[in-house]
Amino acid sequence: MAAPTVTAGRASEPPAPSRRRARVDALLRLLVAAGAGVLLYASFPPRTLWWLAPIAFALLGAVLRGRRARAGFLLGFVFGLGFLLPLLHWTGGYVGALPWIALSVAEAVFMGAAAAGMARVSTLPAGPLWAAAVWIAGEAVRSRVPFGGFPWGRIGFGQADSPLLPVASVGGVEFLGFVTVLAGLAIAETARRLAEPAGRRRAAWPAVLLVLAIAAGPLALLVPVTSTAPSTTVVVAAIQGNVPRLGLDFNAQRRAVLDNHVAVTEQLAADVAAGRQPQPEIVIWPENSSDIDPLRNPDAAARIDEAAAAIRAPILVGAVLVNPDGRTTSNSALVWQAGSGVVERTDKRRVMPFGEYMPWRSFFRIFSSYVDRAGNFVPGPGAGVVDMAGVRVGVAICWEVAFDDLVDDSVDAGASMLAVPSNNATFGLSEMTFQQLAMSRVRAVEHDRSVIVATTSGVSATIGPDGTVTARTGQFVPGVLVDRTVLEHTTTLATRLRSAPEWALTAVGVLAIGAAVIRGRRGRVATGGPHDVAPAVREDGHG
């Protein structure tokens, strides 16, 4: 009898039902990844659902475990879109959907790359530990490239209301993000092992990791800070003058914006004279409170001087200055003393691409006519610190608060309090201002410093060194906050270490990926399998 023939290439193909099950399984994983991304978004301000972040990473960890790097990238990319598309919706409010979607997609690519690495290390012993480090490595990269990076949406920035927040004083935003991700991945691995037959003993290690991650917050409170002088206080006023209109044209009536801030300051002076408010020693105006260059425009200078004379205190004025070349501008914070004018100045050190300046302008003009509305701002030098009434004030102008090194530099240069002058009117009634407020709260804990947030249109706030919001304004209303601000002369462990925890976690993540690759190759050699195919993974995740 003749032997049956087998068509070449088909003998090893799985039957059709198996292929259908594989497709359904892949689709379900994608849906879970997308849903986990949406849960992560829901954990961010203005909501206080911080506990959704670990759940989101538990779901992501569950679908990534045992996957190949290519599948991990796709799952992480979908997870990133589920998170970033709603989180960054404010970026497209007045310029259309294309820039918003392009930014979200670009940043989701970084998350896909991180997830690919997480998938590779997921089956190593203590896999959640290495996978959490890989995620932080991904955040480190996207916070630096391209065009200086985009640190918005780092996991630590969503934990301002979490009991894990004190961790920021030990290892900064990155360590806070690490323990949050670790908690979620440890939940997934513990649950997976408990579901296995006789799996309780094998669940011990991920359970230990989970307990350590949860305990990190309370334990961080035990880490001492170094103090060089006792705490003191200073009365600080934050002025929110409001704007005549929302959106990109908020500054079309630039004189109205300046006049609003002068009027609110003069009203505060009247309240001080009547005994309704304490006399401030420092006054903080927001970014762009004078888009008319007061160094070139005598009328603007006179209005600011009137306000400073009325309140009898130096004012930190957010001003747009035309540089000597006549072509570029600087986003500056000027210390204005009545009768003397500008006595201190610091410029924004990291200007925003696609807003304050346009990289590759001729190229991006192909895609959007809004390109030509971007500015020609240039970054300034220095550590972002000014002296006001004998107080060293660290200044992080608007999105500078998202960059670790800029805030680190200010505290290292002796800042005993931080000011975040900001202009959120460009983005209308969006979540952006609440996300920025959460960043300021994390920075307060990270460096043990009071933070004063002053915005043109809200939300302005005063924040204590423990991250507590002591007072805040509404949005698109005039407002004034007067706070007896605590000045700390302390150094936290996070301040001393600066970026060392981030680099250490990044190194751990990269080494773990290398170990997983070597382990996989050795496994293929031992089984005689092809070297370009990942080893098979059983249902329990082991090769």
DSSP sequence for 226-258: EESS--EEEEEEEEE---SS-STTGGGGHHHHH
DSSP sequence for 52-86: HHHHHHHHHHHHHTT--HHHHHHHHHHHHHHHHHH
Alpha-carbon span 214 to 193, nearest angstrom: 19
Residue 302 in tokens: 């006179």
**Whether residue 287 lies in the annotated active site:** yes
Q: How many C-beta neighbours within 10 Å does residue 352 have?
A: 18
**Whether residue 348 lies in the annotated active site:** yes
Provide the 3-class DSSP secondary structure of residue 344: strand
Q: Which of 107, 398, 400, 431 is catalytic?
A: 398
Alpha-carbon span 461 to 401, nearest angstrom: 14
Of how many residues is the chain composed?
543
Q: Which of 139, 174, 189, 348 is catalytic?
A: 348
**E strand or H helix that includes residue 334:** strand 329-337
CA distances from 421 to 35, 63, 173, 338 (A): 35, 42, 21, 20
- Please list, in sequence order, all residues whose beta carbon lies within 8 angstroms of the beta carbon of residue 320, skipping any fewer than 6 positions away: 288, 290, 291, 292, 293, 329, 330, 331, 332
**Whether residue 398 lies in the annotated active site:** yes
First to last CA, the chain: 41
Q: Which of 171, 92, 82, 86 is nearest to 133 (CA)?
A: 171
Return the DSSP state at 162: S
Provide the 3-class DSSP secondary structure of residue 486: strand
Q: Which of 174, 287, 400, 502 is catalytic?
A: 287
What are the strands, taking DSSP E only, across 363-472? 385-388, 391-395, 417-422, 450-455, 461-463, 469-472
Residue 539 CA from chain centroid, whole number: 37
Residues labelled catalytic: 287, 348, 398
